[in-house]
Amino acid sequence: MSTDRITRAQAAQATTERLIAAAHRAFAERGFAEVSLDALAAEAGVTRGALHHHFGNKAGLFEAVLRRIDAEIAAEMQAVWDAKADAWEGFRACFHVYLDAVLRPDRRRILFQDAPAVLGMKSVDILMESGFGDMVSDLQGLIANRRISAPDAEALGHLLNGASINLAFWAAEDPADQGRRDRAHAALAALFDGLTQAP
């Protein structure tokens, strides 16, 4: 009996994964408004009823894609953090990785065009709240170890979160390849240089 439950759970998870993968590709290529649920279900090899069962509606599926992208970006940042011997250098590097990660072509349209329209402020909350507690904890350690000069880790966390999200939106809207991505990286580097204290 438990084997049947595990098998059903595994099948449900496989269906969820196929739908999220198919939706990610479709939303990135065509945009939310142009994606048909029937076509998505067919591409994932499931019925439209299965799609509704797992996600409720197209907006629910879109939110699942957004959360998956957010988790992928977090994993990319964690890998960079783990590779750095110095905590402050790792922290700084993560923000640069984040900027490049959100501007990837397969993520850019989803994050910066469709997410605000489909989910409103909830989309920004998802992106800004992910890992926020860990970031504040890291900042507290960096302040305590005198690696950075800042009076309040939580306030600084909100400042850095807001700055990075706004820079990403600005870079994503680059109308004629004006080098906004490079300029955003330069601005981040200058901000971090201003916080840095000698080790």
Residue 120 has pLDDT above 70, yes or no: yes
Element (H, E) at 183: helix 180-195
Q: 3-state class of 58 per DSSP? A: helix
Identify residue 120 by its one-letter amino acid code: G
CATH 1.10.357.10 fits 65-195, yes or no: yes
- Does 65-195 match 1-56 at the fold level? no
Query: Which CATH number is 1-56 given?
Result: 1.10.10.60
From CA 125, how far away is CA 58, in angstroms rounded? Answer: 19
pLDDT tens, position by position, 11-63:
778 889 999 999 999 999 999 999 999 999 998 888 888 889 889 999 999 99
- In this structure, are residues 181 and 103 in contact, taking their beta carbons and an 8 Å threshold? yes
The stretch 152-177 carries a mean pLDDT of 90
Position 177 scores a pLDDT of 64
pLDDT of res. 1: 44
Q: Please check the confidence at residue 2 and state whether its pLDDT lies above 70.
A: no
How far separated are the first and last CA of the chain, in Å rounded? 59
Please tell me the distance from the alpha carbon of residue 90 to that of residue 16, in angstroms, as a whole number.
33
| Gap between the Cα atoms of 65 and 13, Å rounded | 14
Which region among 4-8, 64-68, 121-125, 139-143 has the lowest average model confidence (pLDDT)?
4-8
Domain ranges across the chain: 1-56, 65-195
Q: Which of these, 191, 171, 173, lies nearest to 181 by C-alpha position?
A: 171
Q: How many angstroms from the chain centroid is the CA of residue 54?
A: 22
Q: Is 196 helix (H, G, I), strand (E, B) or coil?
A: strand
Exposure pattern of 52-66 as b/e (b: 16+ CB <10 Å)? eebbeebeebbbbbb
Q: Which residues pair with 196 in a beta bridge?
A: 148
